[in-house]
Amino acid sequence: MKYLLLLLFATCSISISAQQTQKPVLHGRNWMAITGKPLAATAGAMIFQNGGNAVDAACAMLAATCTMWDTLSWGGETQVLIYNPHTKKVIAINAMGFAPTGATVEFFKSKGYNFPPEYGPLAATTPGTPGGLIYMLANYGTMTLEQVLAPAIQMAAGYPIEAQAANYIERQKSLIKQWPYSKKVFLTRANEQREAPEAGEIFVQKDLLLTLNKMVDAEKAAHKKGENRKGALMAAYDRFYKGDIAREFVRGCQEQGGLITMEDLAKWKPLVEQPLMVNYKGIDVYKMQQWTQGPVMLQALNILENFDLKSMGYNSAKYIHTVYQAMNLAFADRDFYYGDPYFKPIEPIKGLLSKAYAKQRASLIQFVKNDAGIGPGDPYPFEGLVNPYKNLLKNRGFEMDTSKRNFAPKHDMGNYSPKEVYEDRLWRGTTSVEAADKEGWVVSITPSGGWLPACIAGNTGIGMSQRMQSFVLDSTLNPFNVVAPGKRPRVTLSPTMALKDGKPFLASAVQGGDTQDQNLLQFFLNVAEFGMNVQQAAEAANFNSNQLWLSLGGTKTSDREPKPGQILLNTNTNGAVRNELKQMGYTLSFGDRTSGPINAIYFDWKHGSLWGGSSNHGEDYGIGW
């Protein structure tokens, strides 16, 4: 019997490593450029072919995706991990906007909200993407802003809009009509039955084109005055955040009821941070700090290190159950303890990421059923402190029976059924940017914000972020993530970098709100535990938990509450696994899109090459050379 089980597992392992993929692995010797749209990947390739490094190419792809409204825009936010081959270190760039002047708990509650709104000018944090792009280009790139923005500027002058964006504009036109500057940009066929552009139509954004050219003009003028490359780039930065672009942005925001001031824009700046890291079986895994949900993946890896996942078998019922429970334990901590580390109270991140705390959390996993009552743990003793929120945790007691709640953030809803909404979220979500070059630079970005339907700020052509909705107004939900002016919300956006033997091993990122670190965790395990190549791992069937507080959508507490035991499985999940999970207390739903969309780069040091994986769902695309 033991021999038969070993033979069965060996056969399963062979089939996993030999599985066919819908898209081929990308191979490159010199560089790799992967992102959410084919035209944006081409922008990265153009920069590489013109001699740029991976940071230059990543900036060009970021600019292009913003210009294409790849479920983000120029007014959104950018989270970046960069591996510097000269220092052999991973650094993080925090380009998340903050809450503007007047964004207080009292203000939003006076308007009847339980969370800040999901749409419109009151949902907007200060724009972070322009500053984040300029900062990483100035400090780690080689090119000028004019060079890296060239593809985006050409696109703003007119590019053939793809069906995904064009059709979404049409579906959301009733919201878009509320905002005059958005209506002007997006509804190009006024008074016709279809008011949005058609797929393939040349979509022109005159206001955005002017804004991007103003930034380039500021850089060129500074060069003429004798400024070096970095100084000229900062001149473009200042024009956006302190000059005429800023004035029009603020005017347009406030005209439509928003709160952002000139002082807010001038005060905001990107931050360079030390990323968080845990070691999983010899692999150093890096994530952004706890103002993102990134540490969730690190916590889950620490918990799962206590189990022999490989022996369970890929996507067996036991494997699914174990990973699901680990994710729920980590998300319960995220929902209560994560927030902006630059504001008090200070999050107990050292305790949350300690191996001893993970072992304690792992001991809570019940292997016969789903634990619907999983809540936050107490990480404070693991950093030598006493938890000041013990009484708050005892008194939380929120209603857990939320069977009527939809399984997706409402900003992705449109006119869909709950199942279609969830699949649409996985397909779009935000975007990701992955780049690497032969010198050793590696970039992983998860930018977002200002997604369609976006409220455009005046005549700038820039859609404002909707990230304010990720704050809470009730400290009993999360005392670390309560809205306040100047504070950054705890976001879902979560790029990943992994090093092995001191060298880059994997860079990855994914779309999809609260599912991001669920999918990235499983992608990583697919490679590290089951030996899949980067494309196989990107396409492999994942599962998702909704036993967590949603970070997006709705203005009532009931819109966000956890849905215990709800699990999304791939439609190909076999009957035996389905039945076993049902017996454990799970409520099953199914979809054919459960694998991402993940984009990633694997570093093949044996052969001196790069392997790219690009999602087989949606329009994600990669180019290597």
User: Is the pLDDT reported for residue 236 higher than 90?
Assistant: yes
User: Is the pLDDT reported for residue 1 higher than 70?
Assistant: no
Q: What number of H helices and E strands is found in the chain? A: 24, 19
Phi, psi of 401 (to 5 degrees): -85, 90
Lowest mean pLDDT among 9-18, 434-443, 543-552: 9-18
pLDDT band at 191 (very low <50, low <70, confident <90, very high): confident
pTM for the structure as a whole = 0.93
Rounded to whole angstroms, how far apart are CA atoms 145 and 129? 14
pLDDT band at 416 (very low <50, low <70, confident <90, very high): very low
Lowest mean pLDDT among 129-133, 165-169, 382-386, 440-444: 165-169
Letter string b/e over residues 176-200, b meaning 16 or more CB atoms within 10 A of that residue's CB: beebebbebbbbbeeeeeebbbeee
What are the contacts of 315-322 at 24+ separation with CB within 8 A? 315/541, 315/543, 315/573, 315/577, 316/577, 317/576, 317/577, 317/580, 317/581, 317/584, 318/367, 320/543, 320/567, 320/569, 320/577, 320/581, 321/367, 321/370, 321/581, 321/584, 322/365, 322/367
| Domain boundaries, given as residue ranges, for the chain | 40-78+94-272
Rounded to whole angstroms, how far apart are CA atoms 279 and 362? 17
Placement of tokens 């979220």 in the chain: 425
Model pLDDT, residue 596: 66
Rounded to whole angstroms, how far apart are CA atoms 183 and 175? 9
Of 305, 323, 286, 335, which Cα lies nearest the Cα of 476?
335
Model pLDDT, residue 257: 97
Rounded to whole angstroms, how far apart are CA atoms 105 and 474? 8
User: Is the pLDDT reported for residue 48 higher than 60?
Assistant: yes
Of 84, 66, 83, which Cα lies nearest the Cα of 75?
66
pLDDT band at 411 (very low <50, low <70, confident <90, very high): very low
For the segment 508-566, what is each residue's pLDDT rounded down to a tens digit?
A: 999 888 999 999 999 999 999 999 999 999 999 999 998 998 888 877 777 788 889 99
Q: Measure Cα distances from 544 to 49, 209, 557, 591 in Å.
A: 39, 40, 22, 11
- CA torsion sign for 441, 442, 448, 452 is positive
DSSP state of 465: P
Of 607, 602, 423, which Cα lies nearest the Cα of 505?
602
For residue 58 the two structure tokens come to 């990543």
Rounded to whole angstroms, how far apart are CA atoms 211 and 224? 20
The residues that bridge with 506 in the sheet, in sequence order, are 498, 602
